[in-house]
Amino acid sequence: MTLSLLFQHIVNALSLGSLYALIAIGYTMVYGILRLINFAHGDVFMLGAYVAFYMMTLLSLPWWVALLVAIVFTAFFGIGLERVAYRPLRDSPRISIMISAIAASFLLESLAVLIFGGRPKGVPVPDVLSRVIHFGSVSMIVISLIIPLFTFALLAVLLWIVNKTKTGMAMRAVSTDIEAARLMAVDVNKVVSFTFGIGSLLAAFGGIMWSFKYPQLNPLMGVMPGLKCFIAAVIGGIGSISGAVLGGFLLGIIEIMTVAFLPTLSGYRDAFAFILLIVVLLVKPTGLLGKRQAEKV
Amino acid sequence: MDTANQKKTIALPRNRLYSIIAIAAFVVFAFIADRFFDAFTLRVFNLCAIYIVLALSLNLLNGFTGLFSLGHAGFMAVGAYVSALLTMSPQLKEMNYFLVPIVPWLHNVTLPFLPALIIAGLVSAFVGFLIGAPVLRLRDDYLAIATLGFGEIIRVLITNAQSITNGAQGLKGLPRFSTTFAVWAVAGLTILFMVLLMRSSYGRAMKAVRDDELAAEAMGINVFRVKVTAFTVSSFWAGVGGALLGHMITTIDPKMFTFALTFNILLIVVLGGIGSISGSVISAVVVTILMEALRFLDEPMNLIVFKTEGMPGLRMVVFSILLMVMIIYRQKGLMGNAEFSWDMLGGLFVKKGRKGGDHV
Amino acid sequence: MKKAVVTVLLVVGIAALIVACGPAAPETVKFGVFEPLTGANAGGGALEVEGIKLANELYPTVQVGDKEYKIELVIADNKSDKVEAANAAQRLVDKDKVNVVLGSWGSSLSMAAGPIVKNAKVSAVGLSCTNPLVTKDNEYYFRVCFIDPFQGTVMANYAFKDLGAKKAVIIREVSNDYSVGLAKFFADAFKQLTGDENAILAELNYNTGDTDFSAQLTEVKKFRPDVIFAPGNYTESALIIKQAKELGITVPFLGGDTWETPEFIDVGKEAVEGVVFSTFFATETPITETSKVFLDEYRKKYNKEPAAVTALGFDGYLVARDAIQRAGSLDKEKIREAIAVTKDYPGATGMISLNEDGDAVKSAVIKTVKDGKFVYMTTVEPY
């Protein structure tokens, strides 16, 4: 393998990894607070991308306006989803919430088929974002350069929110012990809604970025990214925001590099993520940066 | 308390008689169905039996042992492929493997249905054991996602192993072994197996693990071993169910065994009641029939007041909502973790005001 | 508990009622439309149904002997799922008592219907299912499209003769039977044409639903092929070609008929300019009178260009209708025999003749993308 090809692979890996990281942050936020695998996260991601698409095509809004409208809309949608599907089950066994989450995910997918139609749609990507830039023989599109910037910016903002603000303190309290937090006069419902809002906002943002990088939409587009980013979050240590970013990058690098060095295995690519997940879970169940959770009896 | 117990002992033989009559009646019904139902109704009727097998095998994990597994489709795939490869004739295999020839050691194997079905179950159980041994150290949601992962890995392997599975081309022309008799016999066997298992000390150990792992451990139950056993047994029946499904449709391919299939079975288990054998059985029948009956939702409707265009997909929306509503408002599902009993049915008609059946 | 049991009994009762009622009006001939309208293949299914519906509007009746029957379409969603597909097919032949089945997009779904139509002795006409297995060993399944081996060979010939390519790389959608089949026949033909056992430099794989192909494409760059053959789903293919252009790969891309959907250009935009693929039919050069009718009516109704599979849906309907007319009877066996001997039927996609396997033998059309439109290049006669 020549050096320039290797660099190209590295660029590919980082650009894919940063996108995974971006979406994994949202996953880890929700999981960290509620201990809930939000199976519908990938579908919220899909919804965000569709809303932005319709804003751009039906209302012909400029792309950044469409993006803002879509993420705000999706954030509120996420809050609503939590109210309807998860809140009534907060004190139920975890299996129940998980089933509800799976049902919500299937519901959103079937609704999307019904409303948006099953056929994929091409996304009108703004020219500024899809231009190709070259560094020697290595090339990438502008959006691939922007995504990592956003990922790190969001990482910083979220770390600040969680560690430095009052809401963040409440979030950490709920995450540690929901009952104790309630006793300490933390408005748990508000905190959970806020978390879901942020999580969905991130999902929508990730979905729109995804649809700009891979310009097609379909009702099932969120399933695979959803699963992979959940895996990224688990690898990094679920609940840890920096861990999610690390996990996202790691997953991107492994997916690309395995194909790069073992091209005959390219058909198994989807399995890599799961194998990596299982290995990490077995070796270090709390993930790379996760804190050990005391077993609650 | 005493009187209740007394009543039970008196009632027992009578109830046993009822059961025998009910079973006999069902057997007669199945014969009639087989003879006189049209092919479509019969297909749905037999599909019910297969879903009973699958739902029970998943319930063994999710309901009775408290292990949330989402990899069921993978084990079904293993069973379906093993049984298909063992029963197809060499000529059929040659026809199917027109891209890449089949590996020689599989080419000439042709077994009758029963051994193939048992081997399918055993191979699936073995895969379950291999996977279960490491993964079952994980808990709750991690276990769910890891089993989901393994389900996907199995599918990816089947897709890529062209010289064994024929890859994406799939297999066609599987012998039509899933007759009414075969599927209902297996379903009956599964029900019997589950009932006996749950009454055995193993079954009680599983429930103990589900209810409180630490307490179970303290009682001297080897929690890990119980979990692995449950997982292996569940994989066995999933493999058998998958094989039956394959021999019913007579064609299989990797895309059949996606997470959506696991979802259908999960739906059945949850609606029926997590941890109830009779719940799963009833729910398997109801859901299978509903899946077909609700087809009209997708079609153009003429409701006198207003007309709707055909809306393909509405059916799945209804099912998802049904599942969500059920889990939110009636978490126990149809039967909770109670079982069907004649007393319960009696109570239903005589209005004795008894609540629930005997608890497990 | 009681309520629950009562509810269940009620539901089962209603379900039984619904299942039980399946009226059959005598004055109609029923065409079962067996297509995925939901799930992963919904897009393709919708395209074929468009064609069938259009044909039904234009030719709503069929002459059987001296009696005219109205053709009624019974549409069943097979949900892109084999279990559901088998149920749907069984329902069509059994409950709806259709005279002919049309469909399905997706060979694996057609294969699920195969044994059912065979048992019921109801003939089925596949529209765009190109996997050779569909019609093999099943005298009741026919199709109006050519099959994978022919298409793969056509593109290998094009690569070798028209492009002068000596080395090729194949990118396969490994979970898609269509793509795997085409890739194999392309490879065989290309090796034979070039006389070079190593003419295929590499076969790289991806899975349905993947969106990132940068790793595979960077590998392609390493091999420096003359041509890339990448048959597969239209969205994935469009993304592949787009990402290849972003990586600076300028080698021509070749593919198959699935590319001919508006979404392919919609997703790929400028990147898919110049790609070449084989398909069933060209809008610029109406092959037959029927093509002209189809094109005019389609444009009038939908105000856009039709996809090839829509034309095939149109043809499937017409071939079935023609066979019933020729059979002069609604007897299942007579219909089957009439379809089997279909010869030189002028469909929208060309002259359709069925061979002994029930597969259409007809010319392929080679097209390219120019200025955001599919443009006809040449026609390849069957070998």
Counts for chain B of helices (H) and strands (E), in that order: 16, 4
Picking from A85-99, B288-302, C77-91, which range would have the lowest pLDDT averaged per residue? B288-302
Picking from B156-165, C20-29, C76-85, which range would have the lowest pLDDT averaged per residue? C20-29
C42 shares contact with chain B (CB less than 8 Å) = yes
Burial code (b: 16+ CB inside 10 Å, e: under 16) for A121-153 equals bbbbbbeebbeeeeeeebbbbbbbebbbebbee
The answer to whether residue B356 sits within a structural domain is no
A177 shares contact with chain B (CB less than 8 Å) = no
Put simply, the answer to whether B317 touches A89 (Cβ < 8 Å) is no
CB B166 within 8 A of CB B96: yes
Inter-CA distances, C274 with A62, B182, C138, C183, C243, Å: 30, 56, 39, 20, 15
Answer yes or no: is the ipTM higher than 0.95: no
Put simply, the answer to whether C1 touches B286 (Cβ < 8 Å) is no
**Residue-level pLDDT at C24:** 44
Q: What angle do CA C348, C351, C355 make, to 5 degrees?
A: 125
The answer to whether residue A288 sits within a structural domain is no
Q: What does the pLDDT average to over C253-279?
A: 91
- Pick C149-279's CATH classification: 3.40.50.2300, 3.30.30.60, 3.40.605.10, 3.30.70.141: 3.40.50.2300
Q: From the centroid of its chain, how far is CA C23? A: 31
A224 shares contact with chain B (CB less than 8 Å) = no
**Residue-level pLDDT at B302:** 54
Amino acid sitting at position A260: A
Distance from CA of A15 to the nearest CA of C (A): 10
Whole-angstrom Cα distance, residue C277 to residue C366?
A: 6
Q: With 90 as the cut, is the pLDDT of residue B320 above it?
A: no
C38 shares contact with chain B (CB less than 8 Å) = yes
Q: With 80 as the cut, is the pLDDT of residue C127 above it?
A: yes
State pTM to two decimals.
Answer: 0.89
For residue B332, the chain C residue with the least C-alpha distance is C1
Distance from CA of B68 to the nearest CA of C (A): 25
Amino acid sitting at position C220: V
Exposed / middle / buried, residue B306 (Cβ in 10 Å: 0-12, 13-18, 19+): exposed
| Pairwise pLDDT comparison (B226 vs B259), residue with the higher score | B226
Q: Can you list the positions of beta strands (E) in chain C?
A: 28-35, 61-64, 67-77, 100-102, 123-126, 141-143, 168-173, 200-206, 227-229, 253-255, 276-279, 345-347, 350-354, 360-361, 364-370, 373-380
The answer to whether residue A294 sits within a structural domain is no
Q: Is B70 helix (H, G, I), strand (E, B) or coil?
A: coil
Put simply, the answer to whether A5 touches C40 (Cβ < 8 Å) is no
CA torsion sign for B280, B284, B290, B295 is positive
Phi-psi region of A177 (alpha: psi -120 to 50; beta: other; left: phi over 0): beta
DSSP lists the bridge partners of residue C32 as C74, C101
CB contact set of B294 (below 8 Å; sequence gap of 6+): B315, B318, B319
Whole-angstrom Cα distance, residue A72 to residue A75?
A: 5
Of A12, A121, A139, the CB nearest to C266: A121
Put simply, the answer to whether C90 touches B40 (Cβ < 8 Å) is yes
Q: What is the pLDDT of residues C216-237, one digit of tens each?
A: 999 998 899 999 999 998 889 9
- Domains C29-146+287-362 and C149-279 fall in the same CATH topology: yes
Q: What does the pLDDT average to over B244-253?
A: 94
Q: With 60 as the cut, is the pLDDT of residue B142 above it?
A: yes
Q: Is A205 helix (H, G, I), strand (E, B) or coil?
A: helix
Q: What does the pLDDT average to over C16-31?
A: 61
Residues of B in contact with C119 (CB under 8 A): 39
DSSP lists the bridge partners of residue A132 as A141
Mean pLDDT of chain C: 88
Q: What is the pLDDT of residues C268-326, one digit of tens each?
A: 989 999 999 998 887 777 678 888 899 999 999 998 888 888 999 999 999 999 999 99
Q: What is the domain range of residue B342?
A: 13-294+312-350
The answer to whether residue B303 sits within a structural domain is no
User: How is C194-227 classified by DSSP, letter by letter?
Assistant: HT-TT-EEEEEEE-TT----HHHHHHHHHH--SE
Whole-angstrom Cα distance, residue C25 to residue C9?
A: 31
CA torsion sign for C86, C92, C94, C98 is negative
CA torsion sign for B239, B244, B247, B252 is negative
Interface with chain B: mutation pick from C11, C41, C49, C82, highest number of B CBs within 10 Å:
C82
* Strands C61-64, B171-172: pairing kind: unpaired
Whole-angstrom Cα distance, residue B313 to residue A118?
A: 9
**Residue-level pLDDT at A3:** 85
C97 shares contact with chain B (CB less than 8 Å) = no
B39-44: long-range contacts, CB 8 A cutoff, minimum separation 24: B39/C90, B39/C93, B39/C94, B39/C116, B39/C119, B39/C120, B40/C87, B40/C90, B40/C91, B40/C93, B40/C94, B40/C95, B41/C19, B41/C94, B42/B180, B43/B248, B43/C86, B43/C87, B43/C90, B44/B288, B44/B289, B44/B292, B44/C19, B44/C87
Distance from CA of A241 to the nearest CA of B (A): 18
**Residue-level pLDDT at A58:** 92
Q: With 90 as the cut, is the pLDDT of residue B80 above it?
A: yes
Residues of A in contact with C239 (CB under 8 A): 214-216
Query: Token pair of C26, please?
Result: 């005598």
CB contact set of B151 (below 8 Å; sequence gap of 6+): B70, B71, B72, B73, B74, B75, B257, B259, B262
Interface with chain B: mutation pick from A86, A87, A98, A231, highest number of B CBs within 10 Å:
A98
Distance from CA of A44 to the nearest CA of C (A): 18
Mean pLDDT of chain B: 86
Residues of C in contact with A134 (CB under 8 A): 248
Q: With 50 as the cut, is the pLDDT of residue B360 above it?
A: no
| CATH superfamily of domain region C29-146+287-362 | Response regulator (3.40.50.2300)
Amino acid sitting at position B246: G
Q: What is the pLDDT of residues A30-63, one digit of tens each?
A: 888 877 888 899 999 999 999 999 999 999 899 9
Q: What is the domain range of residue A130?
A: 3-283
Interface with chain C: mutation pick from B292, B294, B301, B345, highest number of C CBs within 10 Å:
B292
Picking from A82-86, B231-235, B356-360, which range would have the lowest pLDDT averaged per residue? B356-360
Q: Phi, psi at residue C160, to the nearest 5°?
A: -75, -50
Question: Would you call the peptide bond into C104 cis, given omega within 30 degrees of 0 as the criterion?
Answer: yes
Inter-CA distances, A99 with A196, A238, C17, C68, Å: 18, 20, 31, 54
The answer to whether residue A60 sits within a structural domain is yes
Of B149, B160, B327, the CB nearest to A100: B327
**pLDDT interval class at C65 (50, 70, 90):** confident
For residue C223, the chain A residue with the least C-alpha distance is A1
* Strands B251-252, C350-354: pairing kind: unpaired
Q: With 80 as the cut, is the pLDDT of residue A16 above it?
A: yes
Q: Phi, psi at residue B244, to the nearest 5°?
A: -60, -40
C201 shares contact with chain A (CB less than 8 Å) = no
Inter-CA distances, A283 with A276, A288, B134, C48, C372, Å: 11, 10, 10, 51, 52
**Residue-level pLDDT at C382:** 81
Query: Token pair of B262, please?
Result: 């696991």
Q: With 90 as the cut, is the pLDDT of residue A119 above it?
A: no
Q: What is the pLDDT of residues A203-233, one digit of tens each?
A: 999 999 999 999 999 888 998 899 899 889 8
Residues of C in contact with A2 (CB under 8 A): 222
Number of A/B CB contacts below 8 angstroms equals 112
Report the greatest alpha carbon distance in chain C: 77
The answer to whether residue B216 sits within a structural domain is yes
Amino acid sitting at position B260: A
Counts for chain C of helices (H) and strands (E), in that order: 12, 16
CB A65 within 8 A of CB A230: no
Inter-CA distances, C284 with A27, A225, C306, C374, Å: 50, 40, 12, 9
Domain ranges of chain C: 29-146+287-362, 149-279
Q: What does the pLDDT average to over A178-186?
A: 87
Put simply, the answer to whether C15 touches B310 (Cβ < 8 Å) is no
The one-character DSSP state at C298 is H
Of B251, B292, B298, the CB nearest to C111: B251
The answer to whether residue B275 sits within a structural domain is yes
Picking from B153-157, B293-297, C82-86, which range would have the lowest pLDDT averaged per residue? B293-297
Q: Choose from B17-21, B341-345, C357-361 the range with maximum mean pLDDT.
A: C357-361
Percent of chain A whose predicted confidence (pLDDT) is above 70: 97
Q: What is the pLDDT of residues A232-286, one digit of tens each?
A: 988 888 788 899 999 999 999 999 999 888 888 888 888 888 888 888 888 887 8
* Strands C141-143, C67-77: pairing kind: unpaired
Q: What is the pLDDT of residues C153-172, one digit of tens each?
A: 999 999 999 999 999 999 99
**Residue-level pLDDT at B305:** 52
CB contact set of C162 (below 8 Å; sequence gap of 6+): none
Domains in chain B, number: 1
CB contact set of B16 (below 8 Å; sequence gap of 6+): none
**Residue-level pLDDT at A256:** 92
Mean pLDDT of chain A: 88
| Pairwise pLDDT comparison (A16 vs C42), residue with the higher score | A16
Put simply, the answer to whether A216 touches C219 (Cβ < 8 Å) is no
Residues of A in contact with B214 (CB under 8 A): 297
The answer to whether residue B131 sits within a structural domain is yes
Whole-angstrom Cα distance, residue B148 to residue A227?
A: 10
C111 shares contact with chain A (CB less than 8 Å) = no
CB C206 within 8 A of CB C233: no
The answer to whether residue A216 sits within a structural domain is yes
Whole-angstrom Cα distance, residue C244 to residue C274?
A: 13
**pLDDT interval class at C34 (50, 70, 90):** very high
**pLDDT interval class at B1 (50, 70, 90):** very low
DSSP lists the bridge partners of residue C123 as C100
**Residue-level pLDDT at B191:** 95
The answer to whether residue B51 sits within a structural domain is yes
Whole-angstrom Cα distance, residue C34 to residue C124?
A: 9
